[in-house]
Amino acid sequence: MTGHNPWDTLCECLKAKPRRRILTGLAAKEPMETVHFTAVRGDESAPDTPIHAEYVHLHLPKLADAGYIVWDDQTYEISQGPRFAEIEPFLELVQTHSERLPDGWV
C-alpha cells in the first residue's frame, strides 16, 4: 500500500469488518488470544477451529502491508505493527464513541 495517502490506507483497511475487529481489538489492548481467536477464528472458545482462508490470504496481509499489524503465519499471533501508533488515536476515538456507530460496525 505504499504511495497511498495515510487516510486512504486506513479507510481501505477499515472497509472490511474482520479488519476492523482486528484493529479495534489491538487498540483496546485485548489479550492477544482474544484478538487471535475472536478475529481470526471467529470463536475464542474453540482454539482448534481452522483459520479462515480469507484471513490468511486477504485480511492479515492487507493489514501487515499497511504496517498496522505484524502476524506470524505459523501461529497466527497478531500484534501491533510499526505504523499502528499512527492510527491508534483514531481507533481510540471510535471506541470512545462506539455507541454512536451503526450496528455491526465491529
Is 42 a domain residue? Answer: yes
Q: What is the pLDDT of residues 1-58, one digit of tens each?
A: 545 688 999 999 999 988 998 898 888 876 555 455 445 555 555 555 556 778 888 9
Number of domains in the chain: 1
Residue 62's domain comprises: 6-98
Residue 89: pLDDT band (50, 70, 90) is very high
Single-letter amino acid, residue 77: E
What pTM was estimated for this model as a whole?
A: 0.76
CA dihedral 97, 70, 9, 57 (to 10 degrees): -110
What's residue 47's pLDDT?
52
Range with the lowest mean pLDDT among 43-52, 59-68, 69-78?
A: 43-52
Is 36 a domain residue? Answer: yes
Calpha distance 104→60 (Å, rounded): 20
Q: Backbone dihedral region of 102: left (phi > 0), alpha (psi from -120 to 50 degrees) or beta?
A: beta
Is 103 a domain residue? Answer: no
What's residue 77's pLDDT?
83
Is 104 a domain residue? Answer: no
Is 87 a domain residue? Answer: yes
Model confidence at 63: pLDDT above 80 = yes
Q: What is the pLDDT of residues 39-51, one digit of tens each?
A: 555 555 555 555 6
